[in-house]
Amino acid sequence: MTDGIKILLAAASGLALMATATLVASGLLSAPWRGKQVVRALGIPRPAIIAHRGASYLAPEGTLPAFLMARELGADYLEIDLQRTKDGILIALHDHDLSRTTDAAEVFPGREKDAIDTFTFAELQRLDAGSWFNRKFPERARRSFTGLRILRLEEVIEAAESGSHRPGLYIETKAAHLFPGIERQLVESLVDRGWIGRTGSVVGSRVIFQSFEPESLVRLKELVPQVPRTLLIDEIMVSKEGLDSLIRRAAELGAGIGTWGSRRAFGPHWSVEDAPRRYMTTWPWQTGMAHRAGLFVHPWTINDRWEMWMATLSGADGLFTDRTELALSLYGRTAHGDLEELWNRIGY
């Protein structure tokens, strides 16, 4: 054996030892056994694959094909951003205005930046919520996406109920302070559909509530304390309150905390003015802090394979992702390799 080969073997051995030590340290710091105990008691899958606005890498976010595809792929939860129209209809829509994901500028000139609650549901139904995706992502475009509509909450529930796979619902009360009473309306809708019992009972964790607004989670806790609640956090909240304080608050409000991933920490959407320091919230010791406080950890929005591995090694109990198909593949849960077959199955 030459000296060069001996050096290479020694280097490889050293790297292997370092990798093993890193894995052991990550495991100790993140206390994954604590997270497993929390989700097992609540009946939440681990790792939970949460389809962020549906399978939104493959289809226009928050639309019917996005939710149907996430369901057929085998996501554990369909993630919904909940808002309310002028006439009181609960809808699935993320943005506070219609300019990014609809043709509101053409249908309602001058109103495309207006708040959602200035539109009736009938007005929203006049909008095309799918063509923007075809223009932005021509490599994933489908003619069937043209003319897609904004969905009522009930339509998302029907999507979750109607397939061979039955995902849960992970519902965010979006900007809840703008919609007084939305928490009670949401709970009543879920009771009417049988997702929550008349007495507030639940079967497993078919529903998880989430919000960036602690006050909204307080109201949901008062209405249905049995349903798990996740406090979502962002860089502004951490800058103002500190992660330790937010973990304590999350433990008081619910059972989970929604941190953010590596790409977000260094991405262009970071609020530099409000949080000039860039930092992470998914290091193993930070996940361990949450686990030891009795919380599960579901970071958002994790879309790259390397970042999924990082979140997993850091002890996350699941993740929000636009890439449902990639996450399921990473965790060895892919049931269908032929996406075209699934598109045909769901009619898109």
Residues classed as catalytic: 52, 94
The C-alpha atoms of residue 90 and residue 120 are separated, in whole angstroms, by 11
- E-only strand ranges, 251-293: 256-258
SS3 label, residue 231 = strand
What is the secondary structure of 125-172 as a DSSP string? TTS-SSHHHHHH-GGG--GGGTT--PEEHHHHHHHHHSSSS--EEEEE
The C-alpha atoms of residue 311 and residue 299 are separated, in whole angstroms, by 8
Residue whose tokens read 């549906």: 54
Pair type for strands 318-321 and 90-92: unpaired
The C-alpha atoms of residue 91 and residue 128 are separated, in whole angstroms, by 15
- CB burial of 159-193 (b: ≥16 within 10 Å; e: otherwise) equals bbeebeeebbbbbbbbbbeebeebbebbbebbbee
How far, in whole angstroms, is CA 99 from its chain's centroid?
22
